[in-house]
Structure 1
Amino acid sequence: MLNIYFTRHGETQWNIEQRLQGWKNSELTEEGVRNAQLLGERLYQTNFRTIYSSSSERALKTAKIICSDRDIPIHIVDNLKEISFGEWEGKTQVEIEESYEKEYSNFWAMPHEYNHVPHNAESLPDFKLRVEKAIKGIIETNSNGNILIVTHGVVIRAMMSFFLDVPTKNMWDFPIIHGTSLSLVRWNGKQFQKVMLGDTAHMG
Protein backbone atom coordinates (compact mmCIF):
# COMPACT_ATOMS: atom_id res chain seq x y z
CA MET A 1 0.00 0.00 0.00
CA LEU A 2 1.32 3.43 -0.98
CA ASN A 3 0.18 6.39 1.09
CA ILE A 4 0.34 9.55 -1.02
CA TYR A 5 0.26 12.59 1.26
CA PHE A 6 0.13 15.95 -0.45
CA THR A 7 -0.10 19.60 0.43
CA ARG A 8 -0.20 23.02 -1.17
CA HIS A 9 2.64 25.47 -0.53
CA GLY A 10 2.28 27.95 2.33
CA GLU A 11 0.56 31.30 1.97
CA THR A 12 2.45 33.84 -0.15
CA GLN A 13 2.34 37.61 -0.50
CA TRP A 14 0.62 37.28 -3.87
CA ASN A 15 -2.01 35.03 -2.31
CA ILE A 16 -2.87 37.91 0.01
CA GLU A 17 -2.90 40.37 -2.89
CA GLN A 18 -5.00 37.93 -4.98
CA ARG A 19 -2.45 37.88 -7.78
CA LEU A 20 -2.11 34.86 -10.05
CA GLN A 21 1.24 33.18 -9.53
CA GLY A 22 1.54 30.27 -11.93
CA TRP A 23 5.20 29.83 -12.83
CA LYS A 24 6.20 33.15 -11.26
CA ASN A 25 7.11 33.16 -7.59
CA SER A 26 6.13 35.12 -4.51
CA GLU A 27 7.69 34.82 -1.07
CA LEU A 28 6.00 32.93 1.76
CA THR A 29 4.39 35.17 4.37
CA GLU A 30 5.06 34.76 8.10
CA GLU A 31 1.72 32.95 8.29
CA GLY A 32 2.76 30.68 5.43
CA VAL A 33 5.98 29.76 7.21
CA ARG A 34 4.20 29.20 10.53
CA ASN A 35 1.59 26.91 8.99
CA ALA A 36 4.28 24.90 7.19
CA GLN A 37 5.99 24.44 10.57
CA LEU A 38 2.70 23.27 12.09
CA LEU A 39 2.24 20.76 9.27
CA GLY A 40 5.77 19.53 9.85
CA GLU A 41 4.92 18.97 13.53
CA ARG A 42 1.75 17.08 12.55
CA LEU A 43 3.70 14.81 10.21
CA TYR A 44 6.77 14.41 12.43
CA GLN A 45 5.97 10.83 13.39
CA THR A 46 5.15 9.79 9.80
CA ASN A 47 8.05 7.92 8.24
CA PHE A 48 8.37 9.34 4.73
CA ARG A 49 10.50 7.59 2.14
CA THR A 50 10.72 10.74 0.02
CA ILE A 51 9.33 14.22 -0.39
CA TYR A 52 8.51 15.31 -3.94
CA SER A 53 8.40 19.06 -4.47
CA SER A 54 7.44 21.33 -7.31
CA SER A 55 10.44 23.22 -8.64
CA SER A 56 8.79 26.54 -7.71
CA GLU A 57 10.61 28.30 -4.88
CA ARG A 58 7.48 28.70 -2.72
CA ALA A 59 6.80 24.96 -2.82
CA LEU A 60 10.42 23.93 -2.26
CA LYS A 61 10.73 26.28 0.72
CA THR A 62 7.53 24.80 2.17
CA ALA A 63 8.94 21.28 1.70
CA LYS A 64 12.15 22.19 3.49
CA ILE A 65 10.24 23.72 6.41
CA ILE A 66 8.07 20.61 6.73
CA CYS A 67 11.15 18.39 6.56
CA SER A 68 12.91 20.52 9.17
CA ASP A 69 15.78 18.56 10.76
CA ARG A 70 14.60 15.17 9.50
CA ASP A 71 16.79 13.24 7.09
CA ILE A 72 14.26 12.89 4.26
CA PRO A 73 15.38 13.22 0.63
CA ILE A 74 13.62 15.96 -1.32
CA HIS A 75 13.22 15.34 -5.06
CA ILE A 76 12.37 18.31 -7.26
CA VAL A 77 9.84 17.49 -9.98
CA ASP A 78 9.38 20.18 -12.62
CA ASN A 79 6.07 18.66 -13.78
CA LEU A 80 4.56 19.43 -10.36
CA LYS A 81 4.73 23.18 -11.06
CA GLU A 82 1.53 25.17 -11.09
CA ILE A 83 -0.30 25.72 -14.37
CA SER A 84 1.27 28.53 -16.39
CA PHE A 85 -1.05 31.52 -16.71
CA GLY A 86 1.26 33.31 -19.14
CA GLU A 87 0.63 37.04 -19.32
CA TRP A 88 -1.94 36.84 -16.51
CA GLU A 89 0.76 36.04 -13.95
CA GLY A 90 1.46 38.78 -11.45
CA LYS A 91 -1.86 40.47 -12.20
CA THR A 92 -4.75 40.75 -9.77
CA GLN A 93 -8.10 39.13 -10.45
CA VAL A 94 -9.61 42.58 -11.04
CA GLU A 95 -6.92 43.48 -13.60
CA ILE A 96 -7.44 40.22 -15.50
CA GLU A 97 -11.23 40.52 -15.52
CA GLU A 98 -10.98 44.00 -17.02
CA SER A 99 -9.39 42.61 -20.20
CA TYR A 100 -10.33 38.90 -20.20
CA GLU A 101 -13.65 38.69 -18.38
CA LYS A 102 -15.10 35.77 -20.38
CA GLU A 103 -11.86 33.77 -20.57
CA TYR A 104 -11.13 34.23 -16.86
CA SER A 105 -14.70 33.29 -15.96
CA ASN A 106 -14.49 30.16 -18.12
CA PHE A 107 -11.31 29.02 -16.40
CA TRP A 108 -12.93 29.03 -12.96
CA ALA A 109 -16.56 28.25 -13.82
CA MET A 110 -16.35 26.11 -16.97
CA PRO A 111 -12.78 24.82 -17.31
CA HIS A 112 -13.75 22.56 -20.22
CA GLU A 113 -14.62 25.79 -22.11
CA TYR A 114 -11.24 27.40 -21.32
CA ASN A 115 -10.17 27.58 -24.96
CA HIS A 116 -8.60 31.02 -25.14
CA VAL A 117 -5.29 30.55 -23.38
CA PRO A 118 -3.35 33.71 -22.39
CA HIS A 119 -0.13 34.42 -24.29
CA ASN A 120 2.69 32.06 -23.22
CA ALA A 121 0.31 30.05 -21.00
CA GLU A 122 -0.58 26.35 -20.86
CA SER A 123 -3.80 24.81 -22.04
CA LEU A 124 -5.63 22.70 -19.48
CA PRO A 125 -5.19 19.46 -21.48
CA ASP A 126 -1.41 20.00 -21.69
CA PHE A 127 -1.26 20.90 -18.01
CA LYS A 128 -3.23 17.84 -16.92
CA LEU A 129 -1.06 15.55 -19.05
CA ARG A 130 2.17 16.73 -17.43
CA VAL A 131 0.70 16.41 -13.92
CA GLU A 132 -0.46 12.87 -14.72
CA LYS A 133 3.01 12.10 -16.06
CA ALA A 134 4.53 13.28 -12.77
CA ILE A 135 2.14 11.20 -10.66
CA LYS A 136 2.60 8.06 -12.77
CA GLY A 137 6.37 8.43 -12.46
CA ILE A 138 6.13 8.78 -8.68
CA ILE A 139 3.88 5.74 -8.38
CA GLU A 140 6.17 3.62 -10.56
CA THR A 141 9.07 4.51 -8.27
CA ASN A 142 7.20 3.84 -5.01
CA SER A 143 5.07 0.73 -4.53
CA ASN A 144 4.51 1.10 -0.78
CA GLY A 145 5.23 3.24 2.27
CA ASN A 146 4.63 6.97 2.75
CA ILE A 147 5.53 9.82 0.41
CA LEU A 148 4.76 13.53 0.55
CA ILE A 149 4.09 15.78 -2.44
CA VAL A 150 4.38 19.57 -2.03
CA THR A 151 2.76 21.39 -4.92
CA HIS A 152 0.04 23.90 -5.89
CA GLY A 153 -3.71 24.43 -5.81
CA VAL A 154 -4.60 23.73 -9.44
CA VAL A 155 -2.11 20.85 -9.54
CA ILE A 156 -3.90 19.22 -6.61
CA ARG A 157 -7.20 19.50 -8.47
CA ALA A 158 -5.59 17.88 -11.51
CA MET A 159 -4.17 15.14 -9.27
CA MET A 160 -7.57 14.46 -7.72
CA SER A 161 -9.16 14.39 -11.16
CA PHE A 162 -6.61 11.74 -12.14
CA PHE A 163 -6.97 9.72 -8.94
CA LEU A 164 -10.78 9.65 -9.05
CA ASP A 165 -11.28 9.80 -12.84
CA VAL A 166 -13.09 13.14 -12.69
CA PRO A 167 -13.60 15.01 -16.00
CA THR A 168 -12.13 18.49 -16.56
CA LYS A 169 -15.53 20.19 -16.31
CA ASN A 170 -15.79 19.02 -12.68
CA MET A 171 -12.27 20.00 -11.59
CA TRP A 172 -13.57 22.81 -9.38
CA ASP A 173 -16.10 20.59 -7.58
CA PHE A 174 -13.43 19.66 -5.04
CA PRO A 175 -13.29 21.84 -1.89
CA ILE A 176 -10.94 24.80 -1.67
CA ILE A 177 -7.37 23.64 -1.03
CA HIS A 178 -5.83 26.00 1.51
CA GLY A 179 -2.08 26.49 1.80
CA THR A 180 -0.40 23.73 3.90
CA SER A 181 -3.66 21.79 4.22
CA LEU A 182 -3.14 18.03 4.26
CA SER A 183 -4.57 15.44 1.88
CA LEU A 184 -4.09 11.70 1.63
CA VAL A 185 -4.85 9.19 -1.12
CA ARG A 186 -3.99 5.49 -0.92
CA TRP A 187 -2.89 3.34 -3.88
CA ASN A 188 -3.16 -0.44 -3.59
CA GLY A 189 -1.70 -1.17 -7.01
CA LYS A 190 -5.10 -1.26 -8.67
CA GLN A 191 -7.13 1.72 -7.50
CA PHE A 192 -6.92 4.96 -5.56
CA GLN A 193 -8.83 5.67 -2.36
CA LYS A 194 -9.37 9.19 -1.04
CA VAL A 195 -8.79 9.29 2.71
CA MET A 196 -8.84 13.06 3.31
CA LEU A 197 -8.70 16.23 1.26
CA GLY A 198 -7.65 19.68 2.37
CA ASP A 199 -7.61 18.96 6.11
CA THR A 200 -6.51 21.96 8.21
CA ALA A 201 -6.78 20.54 11.74
CA HIS A 202 -3.11 21.33 12.47
CA MET A 203 -3.63 25.02 11.63
CA GLY A 204 -5.91 25.63 14.61
Structure 2
Amino acid sequence: MNHKTTLFLVRHGQTEWNVQHRFQGHQDSPLTDLGVKQALWLGESIQNAHVDIIYSSSSKRARRTAELIKGSREISIIESDMLREINLGIWEGRNQQEVKELYPEKFYDFWNNPEVFNVQGGESFKDVSERVISKLNQIIDKNRGKSILIVTHTVVVKLIMAYFEERLMKDLWNPPYIHPACLSKVEVMNNKFEIILHGDISHFKEENSES
Protein backbone atom coordinates (compact mmCIF):
# COMPACT_ATOMS: atom_id res chain seq x y z
CA MET A 1 0.00 0.00 0.00
CA ASN A 2 1.51 3.33 -1.02
CA HIS A 3 0.88 6.19 1.35
CA LYS A 4 1.91 9.73 0.53
CA THR A 5 3.41 11.55 3.50
CA THR A 6 3.24 15.36 3.34
CA LEU A 7 5.74 17.56 5.16
CA PHE A 8 5.13 21.25 5.81
CA LEU A 9 8.43 22.75 6.91
CA VAL A 10 8.37 26.19 8.53
CA ARG A 11 10.88 28.62 9.97
CA HIS A 12 9.69 30.51 13.10
CA GLY A 13 8.34 34.06 12.71
CA GLN A 14 10.55 37.13 12.99
CA THR A 15 12.10 37.65 16.45
CA GLU A 16 13.55 40.67 18.26
CA TRP A 17 17.07 39.36 17.77
CA ASN A 18 16.44 38.83 14.03
CA VAL A 19 15.68 42.56 13.79
CA GLN A 20 18.86 43.36 15.78
CA HIS A 21 20.87 40.96 13.57
CA ARG A 22 21.94 38.88 16.57
CA PHE A 23 22.87 35.22 16.37
CA GLN A 24 20.33 33.20 18.38
CA GLY A 25 21.24 29.53 18.06
CA HIS A 26 20.15 27.74 21.24
CA GLN A 27 19.39 31.06 22.92
CA ASP A 28 16.08 32.72 22.29
CA SER A 29 14.22 36.00 21.89
CA PRO A 30 10.49 36.70 21.58
CA LEU A 31 8.59 37.02 18.32
CA THR A 32 8.07 40.61 17.18
CA ASP A 33 4.55 41.87 16.37
CA LEU A 34 5.39 41.21 12.72
CA GLY A 35 6.63 37.72 13.62
CA VAL A 36 3.27 36.95 15.24
CA LYS A 37 1.45 38.25 12.15
CA GLN A 38 3.65 36.17 9.84
CA ALA A 39 2.75 33.01 11.76
CA LEU A 40 -0.96 33.91 11.71
CA TRP A 41 -0.85 34.60 7.94
CA LEU A 42 0.70 31.20 7.38
CA GLY A 43 -1.85 29.53 9.64
CA GLU A 44 -4.63 31.18 7.67
CA SER A 45 -3.15 30.19 4.31
CA ILE A 46 -2.98 26.50 5.28
CA GLN A 47 -6.15 26.33 7.37
CA ASN A 48 -7.80 24.15 4.74
CA ALA A 49 -4.78 21.86 4.44
CA HIS A 50 -5.13 18.75 6.55
CA VAL A 51 -2.47 18.55 9.29
CA ASP A 52 -2.32 15.45 11.51
CA ILE A 53 0.51 16.41 13.84
CA ILE A 54 2.91 19.26 14.57
CA TYR A 55 6.55 18.88 15.60
CA SER A 56 8.31 21.94 16.96
CA SER A 57 11.82 22.81 18.02
CA SER A 58 11.82 23.16 21.82
CA SER A 59 12.96 26.81 21.48
CA LYS A 60 10.17 29.18 22.53
CA ARG A 61 10.23 31.16 19.26
CA ALA A 62 9.43 27.97 17.32
CA ARG A 63 6.86 26.68 19.83
CA ARG A 64 5.05 30.05 19.78
CA THR A 65 5.03 30.02 15.97
CA ALA A 66 3.62 26.47 15.98
CA GLU A 67 0.82 27.51 18.36
CA LEU A 68 -0.10 30.53 16.24
CA ILE A 69 -0.21 28.43 13.04
CA LYS A 70 -2.30 25.75 14.77
CA GLY A 71 -4.83 28.33 15.99
CA SER A 72 -7.98 26.68 17.33
CA ARG A 73 -7.37 23.38 15.54
CA GLU A 74 -7.17 20.25 17.66
CA ILE A 75 -3.66 19.13 16.73
CA SER A 76 -0.95 17.86 19.10
CA ILE A 77 2.35 19.74 19.21
CA ILE A 78 5.38 17.60 20.04
CA GLU A 79 8.55 19.46 21.04
CA SER A 80 12.01 18.16 20.24
CA ASP A 81 15.49 19.39 21.17
CA MET A 82 16.72 17.67 18.00
CA LEU A 83 14.90 20.30 15.91
CA ARG A 84 16.66 23.23 17.61
CA GLU A 85 18.83 25.68 15.70
CA ILE A 86 22.58 25.19 15.26
CA ASN A 87 24.33 25.81 18.58
CA LEU A 88 26.56 28.83 17.99
CA GLY A 89 28.45 28.69 21.29
CA ILE A 90 30.22 31.95 22.12
CA TRP A 91 28.52 33.79 19.23
CA GLU A 92 25.03 33.49 20.67
CA GLY A 93 23.38 36.80 21.58
CA ARG A 94 26.05 38.73 19.70
CA ASN A 95 25.42 41.07 16.81
CA GLN A 96 26.58 39.83 13.39
CA GLN A 97 28.74 42.91 12.81
CA GLU A 98 30.52 42.37 16.14
CA VAL A 99 31.10 38.68 15.35
CA LYS A 100 32.42 39.61 11.90
CA GLU A 101 34.98 41.97 13.48
CA LEU A 102 36.01 39.57 16.27
CA TYR A 103 36.08 36.35 14.23
CA PRO A 104 36.43 37.38 10.57
CA GLU A 105 37.59 33.98 9.30
CA LYS A 106 34.96 31.94 11.13
CA PHE A 107 32.26 34.45 10.15
CA TYR A 108 33.35 34.07 6.51
CA ASP A 109 33.28 30.27 6.86
CA PHE A 110 29.77 30.32 8.36
CA TRP A 111 28.35 31.93 5.21
CA ASN A 112 30.82 30.73 2.56
CA ASN A 113 32.42 27.46 3.71
CA PRO A 114 29.77 25.85 5.92
CA GLU A 115 31.44 22.46 5.50
CA VAL A 116 34.49 23.61 7.55
CA PHE A 117 32.75 26.03 9.94
CA ASN A 118 33.25 25.62 13.68
CA VAL A 119 32.94 27.90 16.69
CA GLN A 120 33.98 27.43 20.31
CA GLY A 121 31.21 25.73 22.31
CA GLY A 122 29.06 25.26 19.20
CA GLU A 123 28.11 22.68 16.59
CA SER A 124 29.33 22.16 13.05
CA PHE A 125 26.78 22.12 10.21
CA LYS A 126 27.53 18.40 9.85
CA ASP A 127 26.63 17.84 13.54
CA VAL A 128 23.32 19.62 13.03
CA SER A 129 22.59 17.78 9.80
CA GLU A 130 23.13 14.42 11.50
CA ARG A 131 20.80 15.13 14.43
CA VAL A 132 18.15 16.78 12.27
CA ILE A 133 18.04 14.20 9.45
CA SER A 134 17.93 11.37 11.98
CA LYS A 135 14.95 13.08 13.68
CA LEU A 136 13.30 13.80 10.32
CA ASN A 137 13.48 10.14 9.28
CA GLN A 138 12.09 9.09 12.66
CA ILE A 139 9.18 11.50 12.22
CA ILE A 140 8.46 10.24 8.68
CA ASP A 141 8.66 6.57 9.76
CA LYS A 142 6.31 7.16 12.68
CA ASN A 143 3.75 9.12 10.62
CA ARG A 144 3.66 7.41 7.22
CA GLY A 145 0.72 8.57 5.12
CA LYS A 146 0.10 11.55 7.37
CA SER A 147 0.45 15.28 6.97
CA ILE A 148 3.13 16.69 9.28
CA LEU A 149 3.98 20.29 10.13
CA ILE A 150 7.52 20.92 11.42
CA VAL A 151 8.35 24.31 12.92
CA THR A 152 12.06 24.97 13.26
CA HIS A 153 14.92 27.33 12.31
CA THR A 154 16.84 28.66 9.31
CA VAL A 155 19.83 26.30 9.39
CA VAL A 156 17.59 23.31 10.12
CA VAL A 157 15.24 24.14 7.22
CA LYS A 158 18.27 24.66 4.97
CA LEU A 159 19.79 21.30 5.96
CA ILE A 160 16.53 19.36 5.58
CA MET A 161 15.90 20.86 2.15
CA ALA A 162 19.55 20.21 1.18
CA TYR A 163 18.99 16.57 2.15
CA PHE A 164 15.94 16.33 -0.14
CA GLU A 165 17.72 18.17 -2.97
CA GLU A 166 21.01 16.29 -2.50
CA ARG A 167 22.56 19.75 -2.34
CA LEU A 168 26.23 19.88 -1.38
CA MET A 169 27.07 21.43 1.99
CA LYS A 170 29.23 24.08 0.29
CA ASP A 171 26.11 25.32 -1.54
CA LEU A 172 23.95 25.41 1.57
CA TRP A 173 23.32 29.17 1.56
CA ASN A 174 22.46 29.40 -2.14
CA PRO A 175 18.87 30.57 -2.78
CA PRO A 176 16.07 30.36 -1.95
CA TYR A 177 16.31 32.58 1.11
CA ILE A 178 14.55 31.18 4.18
CA HIS A 179 12.41 34.09 5.39
CA PRO A 180 10.71 34.08 8.80
CA ALA A 181 7.54 31.95 8.69
CA CYS A 182 8.21 30.83 5.12
CA LEU A 183 6.79 27.52 3.97
CA SER A 184 8.45 24.57 2.27
CA LYS A 185 6.38 21.55 1.31
CA VAL A 186 7.70 18.12 0.44
CA GLU A 187 5.75 14.99 -0.48
CA VAL A 188 7.31 11.61 0.35
CA MET A 189 6.23 8.38 -1.31
CA ASN A 190 8.10 5.08 -1.61
CA ASN A 191 11.22 6.84 -0.29
CA LYS A 192 11.05 9.28 -3.21
CA PHE A 193 10.73 12.99 -2.51
CA GLU A 194 8.97 15.71 -4.43
CA ILE A 195 9.56 19.33 -3.45
CA ILE A 196 6.34 21.30 -3.98
CA LEU A 197 7.31 24.59 -2.27
CA HIS A 198 10.68 25.90 -1.09
CA GLY A 199 10.86 29.05 1.04
CA ASP A 200 7.43 30.25 -0.09
CA ILE A 201 6.14 33.56 1.35
CA SER A 202 3.07 34.08 -0.85
CA HIS A 203 0.97 34.16 2.37
CA PHE A 204 2.63 37.41 3.51
CA LYS A 205 0.22 40.33 3.50
CA GLU A 206 2.76 43.12 4.04
CA GLU A 207 6.23 43.76 2.70
CA ASN A 208 8.76 41.57 4.45
CA SER A 209 10.87 44.02 6.45
CA GLU A 210 13.54 41.61 7.65
CA SER A 211 16.63 40.76 5.66
Q: TM-score, normalised by structure 2?
A: 0.93
Residues 115 and 126, structure 2, Cα contact 8 Å, conserved in 1:
no
For residues 175 and 122 of structure 2, the distance between their equivalents in structure 1, rounded to whole angstroms, comes to 23
Stretches of 4+ moved more than 4 A in 1?
A: none
Q: Deviations over 1:78-137 (max 9, x none)?
A: 1110000000000011110111101111110121232xx222101121111001111011
Query: By percentage of residues, which structure has more helix?
Result: 1
Q: What are the equivalent positions in structure 2 for 1:22-61 lying under 5 Å apart?
A: 22-61=25-64
The aligned residue for residue 142 of structure 1 is 143
The aligned residue for residue 64 of structure 1 is 67
Quote how far apart the aligned CAs of 1:35 are.
1.1
Q: Which runs of 5+ in 1 are unaligned?
A: none
For residues 100 and 93 of structure 2, the distance between their equivalents in structure 1, rounded to whole angstroms, comes to 13
* 1:174 equivalenced with 2:175 (yes/no): yes
Q: Deviations over 1:131-190 (max 9, x none)?
A: 111101111111113110000001001101111222211111231110111110110022
The aligned residue for residue 123 of structure 2 is 122
Amino acid in structure 2 at the alignment position of 1:133: S
For residues 94 and 35 of structure 1, the distance between their equivalents in structure 2, rounded to whole angstroms, comes to 26
Residues 6 and 148, structure 1, Cα contact 8 Å, conserved in 2:
yes
Residues 8 and 177, structure 1, Cα contact 8 Å, conserved in 2:
yes
Residues 50 and 73, structure 1, Cα contact 8 Å, conserved in 2:
yes
For residues 87 and 56 of structure 1, the distance between their equivalents in structure 2, rounded to whole angstroms, comes to 18
Amino acid in structure 2 at the alignment position of 1:155: V
For residues 94 and 188 of structure 2, the distance between their equivalents in structure 1, rounded to whole angstroms, comes to 38
RMSD, aligned CA: 0.9
* 1:9 equivalenced with 2:12 (yes/no): yes
Please give the secondary structure, in 2, of the residue aligned with 1:201. Answer: coil
The aligned residue for residue 106 of structure 1 is 109
For residues 192 and 172 of structure 2, the distance between their equivalents in structure 1, rounded to whole angstroms, comes to 19
The aligned residue for residue 98 of structure 2 is 95
Please give the secondary structure, in 2, of the residue aligned with 1:184. Answer: strand
Amino acid in structure 2 at the alignment position of 1:164: E
Aligned residue-pair number: 202
The aligned residue for residue 84 of structure 2 is 81
Please give the secondary structure, in 1, of the residue aligned with 2:18. Answer: helix
Percent pairwise identity: 38
The aligned residue for residue 209 of structure 2 is none
Please give the secondary structure, in 1, of the residue aligned with 2:9. Answer: strand
The aligned residue for residue 151 of structure 1 is 152
Q: Which runs of 5+ in 2 are unaligned?
A: 206-211
Amino acid in structure 2 at the alignment position of 1:192: F
